[in-house]
Amino acid sequence: MVELADDILHHAALDARMVRAARGIRLLSMVSWDAREQVRFLDCYNRGEYTLPRHEYPKYDFSDARRELADIEREADPDHPLGHYVCDSARSWGIACELLENLGTPEVTRHSIRLFGRPDEPLPGGGTTTREAAHHFIDIANELDKELLAPEEQVQISATALQLQLQASLDDFFNGRMIEVVLDPDLIAKAAAGANRIRLRTSAAFSDYDRHQLLEHEALVHSLTALNGREQPQLQSLSLSSPRTTATQEGLATFAEQITGSIDIERMKRISLRIEAVAQALEGADFIEVFRFFLDAGNPPTESFVSAQRVFRGVPTSGGCAFTKDTVYVRGLIGVHTFFRWALRNRKLRLCRMLFAGKMTLADVQRFEPMFDCGALSMPRFLPQWVSRANGLAGMLAFSLFANRIRLDQVMASEGLFELQ
């Protein structure tokens, strides 16, 4: 039994208070729309009519939670690794409260940007913006010759078949039933994941890439970090999806797709189209214009509605407002990929494993290193295979470090053609 110092116990107590205060703050579920909105809109669309959805949000009052979170932030020591985490997390939950108290108004956009950023912000390292990176992936996807697709890339999988396949894979990974895969006829998105359950929309059709993406992204990152967070004896909040950890969580999950070969260019295109749609909504596009944008990009009406709905969660659908969460995917991916390369170069690959001990940011895991060493935080119980095999991870990152030093434009300018001697 590790005897912990008073400063650690003090912040563990604050964290426990924060978990209780945040218990009712379910940001994503509270901004989401009822499935009937989709039925109404698509029924009108099929008749050749367009009507702006006007989802009615309930009124929320989180004043008690906001006061408690503010008190917790004041009592935490921002110079302590755990205190810094508690301060940032309490502040993030407080912003989420403000957002939820203003649902249906333009104020949601301001709070959303505070939590998730904007599409015109530069990526880690400066220079290119998130929106510019999105255009890069969209252009490459549009240039791909679809005739090159393998037959298995075009086969559709039913939700029922996918449920059975995913359940078997997860039971094998966890050596038991830790996560249940269920069908949900009322789900607007194709899939959604929690700590112990993954829901699939009953009517949806999935691809083989979707199957691998749900396993690596949703189950073995989002669900797995929640399960590992529950194992933490001091910081139980590491099991919660705090808004401030969204960029790292989505970046880590998308990086998992990449490193396991589970991502396809169409998936990158979907992510990128959502970023562009957020930008267009902020510039004044309304729901119908964003819906048409997804249609023109080749998406079917149902998926175009789902994607447009993501952009307008919590905000007026008349234009000029957006829920900006989808901007974090590319920014998070670049940040996580850069962090893993930095960790290899600085002999800190153990931090990559620690990142799975709960839901945290890249900055958190660096500050937490002494907390793991002294036993205040526990190493993750579960790890995806790609991160548990250090040699394979190091091999991929070592090549990435070297390859990034090669300027493709200079190679083509000087040689014209690639020649292997």
Give yes or no for residue 353 having a pLDDT over 90: yes
pLDDT tens digits along 277-315 = 999 999 999 999 999 999 999 999 999 999 999 999 999
Give yes or no for residue 99 having a pLDDT over 90: yes
Determine the Cα–Cα distance for residues 381 and 178; give it in Å rounded to an integer. Answer: 13
Give yes or no for residue 417 having a pLDDT over 50: no
pLDDT for 148: 52
Give yes or no for residue 149 having a pLDDT over 90: no
pLDDT for 411: 43
Give yes or no for residue 421 having a pLDDT over 60: no
pLDDT for 3: 72
C-alpha pair distances (Å), 399 with each of 13, 19, 341, 344, 402: 44, 41, 10, 11, 5
pLDDT tens digits along 247-259 = 999 999 999 998 8
Q: What is the DSSP string of 350-415?
A: HHHHHTTSSS--HHHHHHHHHHHHTTSSPPPS---HHHH-HHHHHHHHHHHHHHTTS-HHHHHHHH
pTM of the model: 0.89
User: How many CB atoms are closer than 10 A to CB 84?
Assistant: 18
What are the domain boundaries of the chain?
119-407
Largest CA distance in the chain: 70
Give yes or no for residue 231 having a pLDDT over 90: yes
Closest CA to 97 of 16, 21, 34: 21
